[in-house]
Amino acid sequence: MAPVAEENPVPENPDSLNLRESRVSHEDAGERLDSWLAKNHTDFSRSVLRRCIEGGAVTIDGKPILKASRKLNCDEVVVFTPPPPPSVTPLPEDVPLQVLHQDDDILVISKEAGMIVHPAPGAPPEGTLVNALLGHTNEIAEVGESDRPGIVHRLDRETSGVMVIARTNAAHRELSRQFHDREVSKEYLALSHGVPKEPSGQIDLPLARSFTDTKKWTVRHDKDARQAFTAWELKATFPSLRQPISWFHCFPRTGRTHQIRVHLRAIGHPILCDFLYGREKQLDLATLGSQQPTAPLSRHALHAWKLHLRHPVSGTQMRFEAPLPADLLPWWEASEQNRS
């Protein structure tokens, strides 16, 4: 699988001079940036434009603007750098998928760690979840955006767990709306350093892209930061390891990039083996206790455990659960569970 930095949705494109510059009219003053861009650049969907904004591809009077909701003022100069088109249309690949549910409108899978959700612009469109989906069913090719057919949400490359995919355009529109309106409930399991003093808590810290590393997000309290909220419960501890480690049961109420990873680090409990925000790149359970089995871990220990949503056609409430993968299961079995 070719390495793709999915953390940066709008990669730098130094060879592109296709800048689009416009001045805000008196009639458009007070309009949201994303709405104004969608009206003036109809060749891009609003979701693409929103990713461009968050990736720093839009400036106002020479300053990058990272908030889609930013209100425009009369005579401001907006410069938009369009993303490069995908180099090649994603092709079907015969890649096994762990299917949790399937009907005429949706497909629910458990994504494996290490799989990128969709091709990134300028990178080979191979080995991604999109390729596997196209190999699973041809009909998804016509659903949603051409470079990410069927996709309504995503997980980081190294995050495993449950995802829902739309199989029709009607389902794509309705699921996208549910995610946008925060009607979808998500639950994660995170294996983190330390043991919290309280059994539960809430993290209400706004996030924005790091000034020093565009792959990272960080807690910021300026006007460009976006609200981010994560509730958590202590799920399990390890009674006999040489260093304190805990399982956190996380309930994100917003869906910011790297939200749980940054939030847990912010309260002093970074996720194990998180190469961007953690303390180590790999760890073996056997090195932490003489009676523990060999269980090497070489990716951040975050698993999208459960997903609650309404069926996009019938409206039925649905709940899906992705079992823990093989690399995390020994750590779960070695812990002392406080299961609810």
pLDDT tens per residue across span 204-236: 999 998 888 878 999 999 888 999 999 999 999
Helix (H, G, I), strand (E, B) or coil at 34: helix
The answer as to whether 7 is a domain residue is no
Same domain, 197 and 327: yes
Q: Please tell me whether residues 220 and 325 are part of one structural domain.
A: yes
Average confidence (pLDDT) over 137-142: 87
Side chain identity, residue 42: T
Position 123 scores a pLDDT of 56
With a cut of 70, say whether residue 328 has pLDDT above it. Answer: yes
Residue 7 has pLDDT above 60, yes or no: no
Paired sense of beta strands 302-310 and 160-166, if any = parallel
d(CA 7, CA 256): 11
pLDDT band at 105 (very low <50, low <70, confident <90, very high): very high
Q: How far apart are CA 1 and CA 287, in angstroms?
A: 30
On whether both 42 and 60 belong to a single domain, the answer is: yes
Average pLDDT over all residues of the chain: 89
Q: Are residues 115 and 245 in the same domain?
A: no
In a domain, 14, yes or no: no
Domain holding 156: CATH number?
A: 3.30.2350.10
Q: Residue written as tokens 């990178």?
A: 123
Q: Would you place residue 200 in the very low, low, confident or very high pLDDT band (cuts 50, 70, 90)?
A: very high
Domain that holds residue 286: 185-337
267-291 tens-digit pLDDT? 999 999 999 999 999 999 999 988 8
Entry field: residues in the chain: 340
Helical ranges in the chain per DSSP H: 33-40, 46-54, 129-136, 169-180, 259-266, 329-334
Does residue 293 belong to any structural domain of this protein?
yes
- Is residue 10 domain-resident? no
Residue 87 has pLDDT above 60, yes or no: no
339: confidence class by pLDDT, cuts 50, 70, 90: low
In this structure, the answer to whether residues 330 and 200 fall within a common structural domain is yes
Beta strands in 224-322, from DSSP E residues, in sequence order: 229-237, 245-252, 283-284, 296-297, 302-310, 317-321
pLDDT at 99 (0 to 100): 96
- Indicate which CATH number applies to the domain containing 62: 3.10.290.10
Residue 250 falls inside a structural domain = yes
| Mean pLDDT of the region 77-96 | 80
104 and 48 within one domain: no
Please report whether residue 258 resides in a domain. yes
How many domains would you assign to the chain? 3
DSSP for 66-135, written as a single string: --TTPBP-TTPEEEE-PPPPPSS---------EEEEE-SSEEEEEEPTT--SSPPTTS---SSHHHHHHH
Note the pLDDT of residue 230: 98
**Catalytic status, residue 94:** no
Q: Output the pLDDT for position 12.
A: 38
Same domain, residue pair 311 and 220 = yes
User: Annotated catalytic residue: which of 28, 147, 156, 327?
Assistant: 156
Closest to 65 in 3D by CA, of 239, 283, 225: 225
Per-residue pLDDT tens over the stretch 167-188: 999 999 999 999 999 999 999 9
| C-alpha span between 31 and 71 (Å, rounded) | 5
Say yes or no: 207 and 322 in one domain: yes
The mean pLDDT value for 27-38 works out to: 92
Q: Is pLDDT above 80 for 340?
A: no
Q: How far apart are CA 40 and CA 309, in angstroms?
A: 33
Tokens of 319: 């709940």
| Residue 153 confidence (pLDDT) | 95
